[in-house]
Amino acid sequence: MEVVLTKAFGFLFMIAMGFVLKRVGLFSLKDTDLLTRLVMKITLPMVIISNFRTIDINISYLMDISLGLFTNFVAIALVLFLTRKKQPAERAFYMINGSGYNIGLCTLPFMQSFFEAKAVAIVCMFDVGNAIMVFGITFTLATLIAKGKGNVSGKEIAKTLLSSMPFVAYLVMISLCTFGIHLPAIVFDFAGMMGQANTFLAMILIGIMFEPKMKKSVLKDMAGVFAFRIVIACVFSYVIYHYLPGPLLHRQILSIVVFSPILSIAPIYTERCGYDRSAAAVLNSIMLPLSLILMTILLIVLKLY
């Protein structure tokens, strides 16, 4: 337990470091553009590639991918039902922030520090389905609701997905595994070396992005999204662990993954749909440390570490 808590507090310490360094002027919000590109276009794809060194695609991994899609679809369907009487921009806010998971910048580096590649691969497979949703379909649906039909075409959805380096990395590596094509060991070695920087950069980036400013008028919607994510995560976790068919390790890992925080680019998507970006930014900042704490508790309860 001591090791688990030490690592979890280490993540929170790195986040706090990023926030403090911003406050003292060493970094600014402008630096998040560069750090985001480094993480999303280099270190995170390298982590994904290195984790495929020993992976063989099987039916269990296909189940993980399907679950990443399914959990997002269920969350979106519930949001549409529960917010049917709200204004279009509010519904878009709930959809963008109430569904989807920040796997790449939070859960993946977190789980990577506790488990070997086999377990981390489960997280990666779940994120394939999740990435398809959060980097294209969810934002598309939110845009249609906020601005009317016909704003986003199928071509634009495909362009959004293919412009995401983590998604492309997943797509390429899964294709290679499916066809039995093995990359040279030196590729995985180099990818592993570059991927080692992902955890630190991701946590520092989140700390720099932390913004405690908000408008009182959006507090009700923020509280609604917060409560929705916690409740649905608890339901997903219980159902997955007790009823999902498949190996125990998959059920254990996935029952933790569903407590992942809100997507880091949710504030950008929120603003594009006509809602207050600061509400999404503050909500994101609150959910991240809470998610780390909840995932750590589950690690201990499930006796995974």
The domain spans of the chain are 2-212+225-301
Is the per-residue pLDDT at 3 higher than 90? Answer: no
| Residue 305 binned pLDDT confidence (cut-offs 50, 70, 90) | low
Domain 2-212+225-301 top-level CATH class? mainly alpha
- pLDDT value at residue 234: 96
- pLDDT value at residue 278: 77
At CA 91, angle to CA 270 and CA 223, rounded to 5? 80
Q: What is the pLDDT of residues 249-285, one digit of tens each?
A: 899 999 999 999 998 778 878 888 888 877 888 888 7
- Percent of the chain with pLDDT strictly greater than 90: 31
Mean pLDDT along residues 39-64: 83
| Residue 210 binned pLDDT confidence (cut-offs 50, 70, 90) | confident
| Residue 240 binned pLDDT confidence (cut-offs 50, 70, 90) | very high
- pLDDT value at residue 152: 59
| Nearest alpha-carbon partner for 290 in 211, 246, 226 | 226
- pLDDT value at residue 2: 67
Q: Which residue is listed with tokens 């995401």?
A: 164
Q: What is the pLDDT of residues 145-183, one digit of tens each?
A: 887 654 556 776 777 777 888 888 888 988 888 888 889
Structural contact between residues 168 and 136, judged by C-beta atoms closer than 8 angstroms: no
- pLDDT value at residue 51: 80
Is the per-residue pLDDT at 211 higher than 80? Answer: no
- pLDDT value at residue 1: 59
Q: Which residue is listed with tokens 């309860």?
A: 301
Helices 277-301 and 248-257, packing angle to 10 deg: 150
